[in-house]
Homo-oligomer: A and B are copies of this chain.
Amino acid sequence: MLARIDLALQQALDHVTATAIAPRLAQAARYAVFPGGGRLRPRLCCAVAAACGAEESPLTDAAAASIELIHCASLVHDDLPCFDDSPVRRGRPSVHCAFGEPTAVLVGDALIALAFETLAFASRSQPERLPYLVTNLALAIGLPAGLVAGQALEQEANVSLSRYQNAKTGALFSAATVAGALAAGCNAEPWRVLGSRLGEAYQVADDIRDVASAPADIGKPTGRDAELMRPNAVAELGLGGAIARLKLLVAEAQEAIPACPGRRMLQELIVDEAGGLLPKHLRFAA
């Protein structure tokens, strides 16, 4: 599955970088996407499509790639000096450190555009699902409650942790599950809850890693949430409370999977994946 996703991402990038008039921007765009992290969101998208009984298809691959392109764009913009000011991402210099701040702003914009172009390209002969795939992706990014809205909450006071995490992380996980179901031609809305629970679980695990991991293990600096006074699960619930919350979210996610041919397969996958999200010394049997 990972190979299919990376191939789809490769093709999307090749499509627009081969004749790029700004070679440095093209290089930076590729740098932002390869080598990837866990590709969690596009794998979730493909897993949902498979659970819905869909054959592997160019549309599923494009949907998965579009989700990951938005994720990469958001990482590039989140790392900017005016947000996290993070010098390191995935174990090497962040895009603005490697290519400069102007290029990093532009790379984010270009990857957002590429995500939509990738959906459109795969939909030329069958456009019926495209309006829903585009809307799903756009709402995951922007207003009223997409990841950009979640990021904006970092600038505001007295924000509810769950509302913040739902937008900042949950929106794209929900979009991943919905996109997988849409690409498979299924009724997609029932899949939104699964994505939402998994997104919140991922964010809680990320908060735990931020306090309980070594920087070398996660490829970025630790302790940033506390430094930046950002809403986070460990600050609110303590480490033990955060781990308990993670367990609950994983159980809720398993329950939230709609009836489909691959429900059991997907439940097992979620347990496996959740196990891998925590630092080794904190792992639980989910």
Contact = CB atoms under 8 A, between A and B. Distances in A.
B17 A144 contact: yes
Interface stretch (A37-45, A133-141, A180-188): A133-141
A130 interface: yes
A139 B19 CA distance: 12
A152 interface: yes
Oligomeric state, in number of copies? Answer: 2
Contacts of A20: 143-145, 149
B131 A19 contact: no
Interface string A140-179: 0111111011111111100000010001000000000000
Given A110-B149, A127-B127, A116 B134 contact: yes
Interface stretch (A22-30, A240-248, A272-280): A22-30
A144 B24 contact: no
A243 to B, nearest CB: 27
A279 to B, nearest CB: 30
Most B Cβ at <10 Å: residue of A16, A82, A123, A143: A143
